[in-house]
Chain A
Amino acid sequence: MFQLATEIISLKDVSFTYKGSKRKALNGISMSVLEGECVAVLGPTGSGKSTLACIMNGTVPCFVEGELAGDVTVDGLHPREAGTAHMASRVGLVFGDPDTQLFGMTVEEDVAFGPANLGLSYEEIMRRVTRCINDMRLTGLEKRAPHRLSGGQKQATAIAGVYAMLPKIMVLDEPTSMLDPEGKAKVFSIVRALKEELGVTVILIEQEVDDIISLADRVFVMSAGSFALSGTPAEVFSEPEKLRKAGVRVPHVVEFGQLIGASSVPFSTEDVIQTIETGTWSMAAPPRDPVAGQPVGAVSEAGIEPARSASDPDPLPDPAVGEPVIEVKDLHFQYPSGAKALDGVYLTIRRGEFVAIVGQNGAGKTTLTRHLNGLLRPTSGEIRVLGRPTEGVPTTELCAHVGYVFQNPDEQLFCTTVAEELGFGPANLGVAPKIISARVEALLSDIGLAKYSDVWPKYLSKGERQRLALAAVVAMDPEVLIVDEPTTGLDWLESRQILDYLERLWRQQGKTIIIITHDMNIVSLYARRVVVMANGKVVGDGTPQQVFSQPELMAVACLRRPAIAEITDALWGEVLLTPAAAAARLYQRTSSHAEVDQS
């Protein structure tokens, strides 16, 4: 056990206001971190997490200007006075997007970048490079160009580059936000190694609560520039209501524990299974959905409880599935570079389906969906949209039927106001100005951006920009809506807003929805069908339950099923998708056992 020792970070009543802003990004926060601790910082976007990270190495306010009040001491220095360059060898800062923090032409050069900036000798730099590449499990990739690495390898390189400066403290600002499940697993294993093997003090800003719960020594939850909650994981996750209020997703294991009245807060699937097996829980009445606040009714055979959405607690039933709207037959695609991206894909999607396409990076998900509105053309094979072959039909025509929302909102917002952005697509399709005005007005209200109609989209938050990008495509009224990674870089609340909106479009307007996602929690909550891709092929297709019931399939696609699916599969040999559904099933099972015992 690593012995906790002296205080290494001390923040006393720290406030910060960015230059030109009236709102305090940090509002009188105080925290103390001991050497060797792993501290997780949670909270929604805009709550001040990144500002907190930048204060620790002095980039705020030395590089990013603003007004800083209070006392900040890091490893015996005041970062503001010491300066970022001096702090860099004490505090390493890793950001979420690896592409903007890799500077070398090879992995080796990138790792050498920091030590070289410190003016170390060539021999010392190479010693550190070799050590860090080894510690971060990058051996064999030394001469590889960073842009040719996988997402997880890129982020590992970024961490190695910072770690090569041998800082005592590593601050990781949402290091897994852009990664697929395999990349996330790699980064979390590195964080664990930093903490347990290398004795580095780690400040981990994250949205992935399921992984943090077993990794962090202490957890701070931020909300509007302040700490809404802080303490050990046991203390913080014992307050699920406060977590929800702060905009943080409650881990499945904790939520399930709360629903079944577990005697102590479970932190892992093993804890939950032990709780059930030892009977240290009590559920007197059918569980109530903690989000919708409604009783969870009988669980269907499919394992889906009816009320799942906070914004739509009384939803319409699932729309009926109709005729095929997308048909893909023996689709092959090879990029000009020679890389084979699709290798004989067969897929039929019917009207009214809500489909999630999943798989690790490079599996061919985006390449496949870009064929559906003609952005890419098959090397061989056939695609039909609404029964018509797409060959020879331009994207400008297909987009009226198949809407495509790209992953990064900033790459698809090009107008000078929000309202103009919404009217852009319909105007190109020749929709009458009166109809466009009506659609724009309705959409502004639907996505909660009515008050920003005249604002430049760039000024909106990431979540708002993502909603706008989605609505800008919805404005064209396509029958099929493809949304590529709708939740990347968003917090849980923003993610739910986007998905709830898609669900409304699906239920109320009968749209066919196709999402590409790595987030299995999103899949389990919203998708009715899951298409699994690997190596340019469809390797699995079924309901979320069917797909999550096949661990081998999940392994082939490098995916990890939600914790609750693991638990229910281990306990009862059936996969359920939400803690509420699992709690209801437990209640049903114990009630029926009690009836049998009585009779």
Chain B
Amino acid sequence: MIVEYESKPTFVHRLDPRVKLVWMVCVILVSVAWTHPLYLAALGLSVVAFGLVAKTPWAKLKGVASFMLVVAAIICLIQGATYSVNSVTLRDPERVLFHLVPGWVPGVNPLIPVRVGGFVYGIAMSLKIFIVLLAVAIFGYATSPSEMVQVIARIPFIPYQVGFVLSTAWKFVPVVQVQMRTLMDAHRSRGVDFEQGTFPQRVKKTSAIVLPLFANSLTMADTMALAMEARAFGHSKRFTFIRPYTMSTGDWAVLIASLGVAIACIVLMVTSRLGAI
């Protein structure tokens, strides 16, 4: 997950996990449907507001955000240089904003024009990615993996083992991360400098931890399997530890608002191009 789950006494945390899942799916669907940056920005702000209610630790998203800014810049430039937009809202989508190879370079004519339509479309694409990442991050941060298992266990035709495997994999990630750090520390303690050398040399040094990491993970998985067997895993065909959820007024409100707004937005987008670039 982008942000690890944290238990906090917020309205969003208290929401029924099914409602949070519906909210997330609605946000993703609307962000996919809309192509206008202003509409997407408004959607993004609503997601941020939801995140504020959930007291999302924004600092933990800093790394992803910085990386995404670079990705967004690349997307905008590529779209601006290559994509020709058929816009219903932009006056002159073909207007050249600037050239990737500028004209002031001595002896070089301006090359690769970046056009308004493509550039704006690039901004919209980047916003879509931001919104999806943000919605997934807020969902993951405010919904415990066990709640997710509970949601999966309620879906007919999906064996409960699927939910269990997902939650176990979830738990396994930090364990493997700790192991990886220890292995790297053990290498450093025996004179290996991961920061020194050419790129291939550094890749080679780092790849040396793969074998022990893999072997240790297998050993751990083996022991876990033995312990699971000893606790009758797979003995029953159905998972019976399903908590009785009751929908609160807040749950109903968020559910109806999410579904209502999403359906309205998509219908308006399809029928009258509201939200299109």
Bound pair (A, B): yes
Residues of A within 8 A of B (CB): 54, 57, 59, 62-64, 84-86, 88-89, 92-93, 95, 97, 99-101, 103-106, 109, 112-122, 125, 143, 147, 161-162, 165, 370, 373, 375, 394-396, 399-400, 403-404, 406, 408, 410-414, 424-425, 428-429, 458, 472-473, 476
Cβ-defined contact, B183 with A411, below 8 A: yes
Ranked 9 nearest A-B pairs via Cβ: A428-B191, A119-B236, A85-B235, A101-B227, A412-B186, A116-B241, A105-B146, A425-B190, A88-B232
Cβ-defined contact, A99 with B145, below 8 A: no
Closest beta carbon of chain B to A149's beta carbon, Å: 14
Closest beta carbon of chain B to A80's beta carbon, Å: 14
Kindly state the separation between the CA atoms of A122 and B239 in the bound complex, as whole angstroms: 10
Cβ-defined contact, B191 with A400, below 8 A: yes
Kindly state the separation between the CA atoms of A95 and B223 in the bound complex, as whole angstroms: 9
Tell me which residues across on chain B come within 8 A of A428, comparing CB atoms. 190-192
Instruction: Count chain A CB atoms within 10 A of each CB in B145, B186, B226, B230 and give the residue with the most.
Output: B230
Closest beta carbon of chain A to B204's beta carbon, Å: 13
Tell me which residues across on chain A come within 8 A of B233, comparing CB atoms. 85, 113, 117
Kindly state the separation between the CA atoms of A117 and B186 in the bound complex, as whole angstroms: 40
Tell me which residues across on chain A come within 8 A of B192, comparing CB atoms. 396, 428
Cβ-defined contact, A476 with B191, below 8 A: yes
Within 8 Å by CB of A99, from B175, B230, B232, B237, lies B175
Tell me which residues across on chain A come within 8 A of B211, comparing CB atoms. 414
Cβ-defined contact, A414 with B235, below 8 A: no
Cβ-defined contact, A117 with B146, below 8 A: no
Tell me which residues across on chain A come within 8 A of B227, comparing CB atoms. 93, 95, 100-101, 103
Cβ-defined contact, B189 with A395, below 8 A: yes
Cβ-defined contact, A117 with B231, below 8 A: yes
Kindly state the separation between the CA atoms of A118 and B238 in the bound complex, as whole angstroms: 9
Closest beta carbon of chain B to A113's beta carbon, Å: 6
Within 8 Å by CB of B241, from A112, A161, A396, lies A112
B82 at the interface (CB under 8 A from A): no
Cβ-defined contact, A394 with B193, below 8 A: yes
Kindly state the separation between the CA atoms of A147 and B185 in the bound complex, as whole angstroms: 22
B228 at the interface (CB under 8 A from A): yes
Tell me which residues across on chain A come within 8 A of B260, comparing CB atoms. none
Tell me which residues across on chain A come within 8 A of B241, comparing CB atoms. 109, 112-113, 115-116, 122, 125
Kindly state the separation between the CA atoms of A429 and B208 in the bound complex, as whole angstroms: 17
B7 at the interface (CB under 8 A from A): yes
Residues 163-198 of B contacting A (Cβ, < 8 Å):
164, 167-168, 171, 174-175, 179, 182-183, 185-193
Within 8 Å by CB of B226, from A95, A104, A117, lies A95
B234 at the interface (CB under 8 A from A): yes
Kindly state the separation between the CA atoms of A106 and B5 in the bound complex, as whole angstroms: 12
Kindly state the separation between the CA atoms of A429 and B211 in the bound complex, as whole angstroms: 23
Kindly state the separation between the CA atoms of A120 and B179 in the bound complex, as whole angstroms: 36
Kindly state the separation between the CA atoms of A370 and B188 in the bound complex, as whole angstroms: 12
Instruction: Count chain A CB atoms within 10 A of each CB in B191, B227, B231, B232 and give the residue with the most.
Output: B231
B216 at the interface (CB under 8 A from A): yes
Known: A101-B224, A410-B212, A476-B190. A375 touches B243 (CB 8 A): no
Residue of B nearest to A416 (CB): B211
B10 at the interface (CB under 8 A from A): no
Within 8 Å by CB of B189, from A59, A105, A399, lies A399
Kindly state the separation between the CA atoms of A85 and B7 in the bound complex, as whole angstroms: 34
